[in-house]
Amino acid sequence: MFWSYSDAVVSVPLDEKVVALTYDDGPNPPHTQALLEMLAQHGVRATFFLKGRNVEAFPESVQPVARAGHEIGNHSYSHRPMLSLSQSAMREELVRTSDLIENLLGQRPVLFRPPYGLQGPGLKMAVDELGMPSILMNSNGADWEETDPGLIANKILESIAPGDIILLHDGHGDVDEPAAQQSRAPSVAATGIVIEALKARGYRFVTVSELMALDAFLPIRLGITARGQTRSE
């Protein structure tokens, strides 16, 4: 299993106080919009890993994310645990979602985050074939089970370090029907707390790709060119 995660990016080793905010499972109106307003208020750009089924249901919520300058990544189409799928089915989940995003924005997502952070050998081979770095995280607010914004924020703030990738949610991965997604208002409120607290500590916020670019050796290790495509050896 170690090989399956050998190229996954969990954090970036840095001395500079820089972190990346990431959000999974959207879009989820109106909570994605509320989050965009919160991020704009603080002048912060983040990375959104979108669920294909929700992109299909709420295309009008995808363009504002891109227009605001945020990075958009692929979070599979159905959010099913990838370990339960064949390699061809895994690849189809990624391609279908990337196609949806590209058709809306004219740009194909470069980054992928596996549902539940689960990545077996088949999924690693699929992302390698597609030239998509797999992005995990090492800091989260457990906002899938915690609903108090202060407690969500504290889970992040108590252990944050330079180069961390922070996970929060603007949508719901486990809901098959996009319209049945519940409120992510606590995560939006927690975002404001985290940003204010970390800025007071001297941190700045970047997208995941920008964070990765700060490590000169990371693209070499992943075999990625400046355009985000896997190099042919």
pLDDT given at position 219: 60
List of residues 6+ apart from 21 with CB closer than 8 A: 39, 44, 46, 47, 166, 168, 191, 194, 195, 205
The token pair that represents 15 in the structure block: 């001395």
**CA gap 97, 82 in Å, rounded:** 14
**In the chain, pLDDT over 70 holds for what percent of residues?**
93
Local confidence band at 195 (pLDDT 50, 70, 90 cut-offs): very high
Cross-strand partners of 9 = 135
**CA gap 192, 175 in Å, rounded:** 26
pLDDT given at position 127: 94
* pTM score: 0.93
pLDDT given at position 228: 42
Mean predicted lDDT score pLDDT of the chain: 92
Given a contact cutoff of 8 angstroms between Cβ atoms, the answer to whether 40 and 69 are in contact is no
**CA gap 126, 88 in Å, rounded:** 8
pLDDT given at position 84: 84
Topology given in CATH for the domain delimited by 3-222: TIM Barrel (3.20.20)
> Would you please indicate which residues are annotated as catalytic (active-site) residues?
24, 169
The token pair that represents 154 in the structure block: 């504290």
Cross-strand partners of 21 = 166
Task: Give the torsion sign (CA, 144, 148, 149, 151).
Answer: negative
How confident is the model over 141-188, as pLDDT tens digits? 999 999 999 999 999 999 999 999 999 999 999 999 999 999 999 999
Region 5-26 average pLDDT:
95
**CA gap 114, 124 in Å, rounded:** 10
Local confidence band at 223 (pLDDT 50, 70, 90 cut-offs): low
